Amino acid sequence: MSISETYVRYRQTLSEEPLAIGVILVALWMAWSLASGLATGGIEISSLASLVWDGLLRGLIIGLAGIGLSMTYSILNFANFAHGDYLTSGAFAGMATSYLIAGIGENSVGALLLVGAGGSVFGGALGIGVTTSPLAVVLGALIAGVATIALALLIDRFVYRPIRDESGIALLITSIGVAFALRYLIQFVFGAGVRGTTAAGSVPRVNVPAIDGTFRVTAHDISLVVVAAGLMLGVHLLLQRTKLGKAMRAMSDNEDLARITGIPTEQVIRTTWIVGAGLTGVAGYMFILWKGTLGFNDGWLLLLLVFAAVILGGIGSIYGAIGGGIVIGLTASVSVIWIPSEFGRAAAFLVMIVILLFKPEGIFSGRTTA
Amino acid sequence: MSVSDLRGRFEGLFERDITLVLAVLGVIYLAYILSGVVFGYGLRGQLNSVANLTFYIGVFGMLALALNLHWGYTGLFNIGIIGFMGIGVYVTALVSKPPVAEGGAAQVGGFGLPLFIGIPAGVLVAGLFGLLVALPALRLRADYLAIVTVAFSEIIRFTMMSRTFQTYTVPDTIDLWLFTVDPTADTVGLGGGGGLILNYTDPLEALLRGLFLWEPYLAFIAFVQRNFIPNNPKPVIDGVAYGIVLLVGVGLFYLLLTRTGQSPFGRVLKAIREDEDVANALGKDTDRFKLTAFVLGAALMGLGGILWYSGRGSVTPPSFRPNITFFVWIALIIGGAGSNTGSFLGGAIFAGVLYQGPRYFKNLVEAAFELGSAPRNFGEAMAGFASLDPMPFVLYTLDSISQLRLVIMGVVLIWLMHNRPEGLLGHRKETASTVDLARPGSAESSGKPSAADGGEER
């Protein structure tokens, strides 16, 4: 394509899409204000680095949780509004395990299993942390995944499977019911209070030098990066090297055709739930370990950001979910340079809405793996 | 079929609707009054309980009707209802709150205009935000529209909570080219996390004063005080009167939406719901119709929000979490999307049974049995089972009924989607066509919608 053709095409886009001009102008203003802030010293490079690091970690959690959502969205063809509460369930199951292992013998088993409901046991006092109680954390993450898988399969069997052939909207509405039931059952069992779960003071940390200062990296940051990267690589290999990935791609394209060609669709759906829910549970646990507090609303509050990531990346693409997660996480954190900090999440939603308007198939579309 | 025949059938239908609505309301009210008798309520307590019930029936009925315009008629999956409600209340507050007084509790004032300007302003701005959301979002698939609208309602809530918009000092004079405006307001704003104190005239009082009924109303209260309720009957009577106002409001919503649904405009909306491409192919500018329907519904949701919250002493941002949106959805699905009578019935049943019912059930049990104090957490509740004593668990369950209520709602929603996705009256979903689509001579010639594949029975 010659330059003039490209130019004409862009001019056409601009005249047809007045909103596009607005978006471009906003982007230019943001770049300018960041550049001038950095040049004049109004924005310190170290604080920018700290925001980027925070955004990256958030993004990894969102991306990890997003893989599961994206897989069920493309295979079962509905937006699962209960996904956030799967995340919370995983976090509670995992934390209960960690509490039990770290505190058995000195505290009552009931209080430990309820993750210290009503202030009976405190995570800080138990010394929960990746360096202080490594076994409790590793087993906690494992149980978080396993419990979420069990929960997702159970819910699928009794809630989603009987209405598998209904429209995506009917399933979506049903998933809202699941979300309500799950979230408030968790509140019923574990209580409404937000509890501190980790010994925040004793987590090892290093100050990484940036040009004009330092930013902080903790052991929980590192463990989050390791777990997220490992699981993402694992899913990538699983879907690339096994027939499962191919079967899933076939199903998300055309379920009837897939069934005719001999793909056991129910089995693929079950495997999808297993992989997706496992990742979601671990993501929930790592999220709680990283931020250090746990409440029954945490997953629900994260859900919209996860949706934003999945839509941004293109539904059905696991790389899209990871990439979208990182973009959304960075947006939510770094946007405080330009706007008041209360609007970090609002900015992430706005990015999602803009993407939906201009490229509803997502920015990584066409590269679907699952 | 002759015109009079049609008319007779229509009237018969209407009468059946009226009986159905009255029967459902009658059962709900009777249950509440009977449980009031069990609690040993006097007249005051009974009136209070009935007023409270009427309030929720009114607001959920209205919101379900407004949602029915979006989802039942047009097929727009809006889960940002609470955002429009919040905008309505906040704008009304901003317009009608008096300026900050010296020594008053309110930190943030308003423009001090009367409520009959403030409420239309709130409705109008809710409609405008509906336009703002709908303009770009209506091109989207249903599930994307859902996510965009819920994100929008969260953005509204973040805005209410933010420090940035907490207060704004209005300049003493504003120069507008030829003339200067001297606003009475000094400090306005959204109040941040602390919310707004609604220190304008009580909406009921404003309404009755507007209708010149305020003096007779006060005389009536004095009469009640002399004869029935000796100490301070005003709050109770106010509650009942406000409930009646809400029911009138529901009636107006119903009339407006039924008229809209039966108009040519409404038929196009239903055609869009059935198949947007066909409606488009028939030369209807479907985007325009969807836009109008969305804006109208959003404005009605704003009005619903105003009627819900403006009579309270204050509003705070946590009231505007997405939960209420889903409550309205459950109400609509119980009643059946597509039918206005169904929407109201769904709202009434939701308010009476799912929303208020569990609390009454708890009070009933507590009134009937002498119960000890409930355990503080689930662990203590389960400890009872060690000695085969289920009582701590039962007590804990009763004590956490306000959370379990939401679990019950979730389970009811799942059950409905499995067993009766069309709700109570959803089978009466009106088709886009003006003529009866059933095959002539078919046994079930009315009530049953034709199949999508050209009306052939499968």
What φ, ψ does residue B197 adopt, rounded to 5°? -90, 125
Per-residue pLDDT at B413: 95
Tell whether A159 lies on the interface with B, counting CB pairs under 8 A: yes
Average pLDDT over residues A211-229: 89
What φ, ψ does residue A118 adopt, rounded to 5°? 70, 20
Which residues from A are below 8 Å from B155, CB to CB? 346, 349-350
Per-residue pLDDT at B427: 74
Which residues from B are below 8 Å from A342, CB to CB? 158, 161-164
Tell whether A188 lies on the interface with B, counting CB pairs under 8 A: yes
Residue in A153, A150, A168 with CA at minimum distance from that of residue A269: A153
Per-residue pLDDT at B165: 82
Tell whether A342 lies on the interface with B, counting CB pairs under 8 A: yes
Per-residue pLDDT at A192: 87
Average pLDDT over residues A53-65: 94
C-alpha span between A356 and A80 (Å, rounded): 18
Interface test with A, best of B161, B378, B398 (most A CBs within 10 A): B378
Give residue B177's region: left, alpha or beta (phi > 0; psi -120 to 50): left
DSSP string across B169-222: EPPS-EEETTEEE--S--EE---GGG-EE--S--HHHHHHHHTT-HHHHHHHHH
DSSP string across B212-251: T-HHHHHHHHHHHHHHT--S--HHHHHHHHHHHHHHHHHH
Per-residue pLDDT at A365: 61
Tell whether A230 lies on the interface with B, counting CB pairs under 8 A: no
Q: What is the pLDDT of residues A172-201, one digit of tens each?
A: 999 999 999 999 999 999 988 888 888 877
Cβ contact B403–A352 (<8 Å)? no
**B87 CA to chain A: closest CA distance, Å?**
16
Contacts of residue B137, Cβ cutoff 8 Å, sequence gap at least 6: A353, A356, A357, B144, B145, B148, B149
Per-residue pLDDT at B10: 59
Q: What is the pLDDT of residues A280-317, one digit of tens each?
A: 999 999 999 998 899 999 999 999 999 999 988 888 88
Per-residue pLDDT at B104: 63
- Each domain of chain B, given as residue ranges in start order, spans 44-320
Nearest to A188 among B147, B162, B407 (CB): B407
Nearest to A163 among B142, B383, B418 (CB): B418
Which residues from A are below 8 Å from B329, CB to CB? 173, 176
Tell whether A187 lies on the interface with B, counting CB pairs under 8 A: yes
Nearest to A184 among B333, B404, B412 (CB): B404
Interface A-B: count of C-beta contacts within 8 A: 143
Sign of CA dihedral B3, B5, B8, B12: negative
Cβ contact A304–B150 (<8 Å)? yes
Cβ contact A343–B162 (<8 Å)? yes
**A311 CA to chain B: closest CA distance, Å?**
9
Tell whether A356 lies on the interface with B, counting CB pairs under 8 A: yes
pTM comes to: 0.89
**B445 CA to chain A: closest CA distance, Å?**
27
Higher pLDDT: B170 or A54? It is: A54
pLDDT under 70 in chain B at which residues? 1-15, 101-106, 172-185, 429, 434-458
Average pLDDT over residues A16-25: 74
Cβ contact A110–B382 (<8 Å)? yes
Per-residue pLDDT at B448: 46
Tell whether A109 lies on the interface with B, counting CB pairs under 8 A: no
Per-residue pLDDT at B58: 96
Per-residue pLDDT at B93: 92
Contacts of residue B86, Cβ cutoff 8 Å, sequence gap at least 6: B153, B156, B157, B160, B305, B319, B320
Per-residue pLDDT at B351: 95
Which residues from B are below 8 Å from A163, CB to CB? 417-418
Per-residue pLDDT at B6: 62
C-alpha span between A310 and A314 (Å, rounded): 6
Tell whether A311 lies on the interface with B, counting CB pairs under 8 A: yes
Tell whether A190 lies on the interface with B, counting CB pairs under 8 A: yes
C-alpha span between A62 and A302 (Å, rounded): 8
Per-residue pLDDT at B11: 60
Per-residue pLDDT at A203: 80
Cβ contact A353–B151 (<8 Å)? yes
Per-residue pLDDT at B434: 67
Cβ contact B378–A340 (<8 Å)? no
Per-residue pLDDT at A2: 65
* ipTM value > 0.95: no
Cβ contact B417–A183 (<8 Å)? no
